[in-house]
Structure formats: structure tokens, C-alpha cells
Amino acid sequence: TWGTPTVAQVGGQTQILVNGWHHTGAYDFATGKEIWRHDGGGDIPTPTPVVGEGLAYFTSAHGRFRPMQAVRLEAKGDITADDVGETNEFIAWSHARKGNYMQTPILVGDLLFGCVDHGVLTCFDARTGEIHFEERLRAGGDGFTASPVADGRHLFFPSEQGDIYVVPVSREFAIVSTNAMNETVMSSPALSSGRMFIRTRGHLVAVGMKE
């Protein structure tokens, strides 16, 4: 796996959530014991698990399947569904072909946003998995590798070609602006002290954020 694990507190227990090769799972931090596992998914998982709304969101998109799914944090044992895209007691919702290859999805409030590598952005209801929209950020051939960031009101999606797409946190799709860095961008921006820091191929750029 290429994905960084996530730490979650579940009922007073520290769990490590892992987007693993051919299966996802949770482990007891104190003992290393497996708490639950779910077989299936991509064969080169890259996105980091995201936690919120009492759920853990897992996705991958390399190989036969590209699931986007939400697992209840109280899950125990083997929670593998009968088929990719199906749900059960511990899988709250699942989409078999809506997963991300490189980008980690981003959760803002009760909305989960996932952008695939060719620039199609999907907005999910974080609790139910309902899809509010599925739109392309650009009609051209921009690739997307870096994970997005959010300031609470807007989402920022960097393309590999160096354009930063600004999208409102909303159930309705719009592109507020597109900002060209004029260099390749492969890393995720960072937000701090009212500025956005963007690492391009040759520079570190600090952009002032409007109030």
C-alpha cells in the first residue's frame, strides 16, 4: 500500500485504519490485533482513510475495482460484502466504480468530495452516499494527483499542469476561479495563517487568502 494510515478513537480505543493491498482494515494500536477487515478493492491503494460522521471512508482505483465506501467505526470481524458496491451491517454505503486512484477524498461538514485522476469531481452525502453531482473540473486533459484542501468555504484542487481549481463547498457544482501556477504541481497545498502554500516543480509559492 502507498496510503498513509489514519488514527481514530473508537469507544476509548485507539485504532489504526489501513487502506491495504487487496483489503482494508482496522487494528488495535496497543496490541496490533486486527479489529476488522474488508477484502476487495484496488491493488495499489494510495488514498488515506478519512474519518467523520461516525464513519471511515476508504477508496482506491487501480485494478479491476475502484470502490468508494463508508465503514462504520464500530465494525468488528470480517465485514466483506457479498459483492463490490453492496452494503451490510457495517458498510454504511458503497459505490463500486467511484473511487480515487491518487487523491485522498476530503470531508467538509456532511459532504465528501472525491476527484479522480482525469478530473471528474464527485460530491457525496457523507452519511448516505447519495451523489449530489459528478462534474469534470476541466474539459481538457489535465491530470490530478495532489489531494485537495479546504478553508471551510472553498475547495482547492491542483492539477498536474499547475492550475488550482476553486470550488465552493456546496451540493451544487461551480468553479469560482482557476489560478495558474505555470509549473507542474504534484503535491498538496497547505493552508496556514491566511495563506496557501503551493509547491510547484521549481518553486514554493505563498498565496494570500481573501478574508
Amino acid 62: pLDDT = 75
Output the nine-digit C-alpha cell for 175.
Answer: 468553479
Return the pLDDT at 75: 98
Mean pLDDT score of the chain, rounded to an integer? 94
DSSP β-ladder status, 68-72 and 77-78: unpaired
Facing residues of 15 across strands? 8, 28
Q: What is the pLDDT of residue 66?
A: 84
Q: What is the pLDDT of residue 167?
A: 98
Are the beta carbons of 20 and 28 closer than 8 angstroms?
A: no
Residue-level pLDDT at 2: 87
Query: CA-CA distance, 89 to 188, in Å (whole number)?
Result: 35
> What's the pLDDT score for residue 139?
66
> With b meaning 16 or more CB within 10 Å and e meaning fewer, what string describes 110-141?
ebbbbbbbebebbbbebbebeeeeeeebbeee
Per-residue pLDDT at 151 = 95
The SS3 assignment for 128 reads coil
Task: Inform me whether the pLDDT recorded for 195 exceeds 80.
Answer: yes
What integer pLDDT is reported at residue 210 of this predicted model?
67
More confident residue, 44 or 159: 159
Find the mean pLDDT for residues 119-144: 92
Q: What is the pLDDT, as a whole number, of residue 1?
A: 75
The mean pLDDT value for 108-132 works out to 97
CB 16 within 8 A of CB 48: no
Sorted by where each starts, the structural domains of the chain and their CATH numbers stand as 1-99 (2.40.10.480), 102-211 (2.40.128.630)
* 201 DSSP 8-state letter: S
Dist CA 58 CA 6 (whole Å) = 11
Q: How many CB atoms neighbour CB 181 within 10 A?
A: 19
- pLDDT score at 157: 97
What is the DSSP secondary structure assignment for residue 54, as one 8-state letter? T
Strand pairing class (77-78; 106-108): unpaired
Q: How confident is the model at residue 40 (pLDDT cuts 50, 70, 90)?
A: confident
Identity (one letter) of the amino acid at 21?
W
pLDDT of residue 159: 96
78-117 pLDDT, tens digit per residue, is 999 988 889 999 999 999 989 999 999 999 999 999 999 9
- Tell whether the model's pLDDT for residue 21 goes beyond 90: no
**pLDDT beyond 70 at 201:** yes
Place of cell 471512508: 57
Q: Decide: pTM greater than 0.75.
A: yes
Report the residue count for the chain: 211
Secondary structure of residue 93 in the 3-state scheme: strand
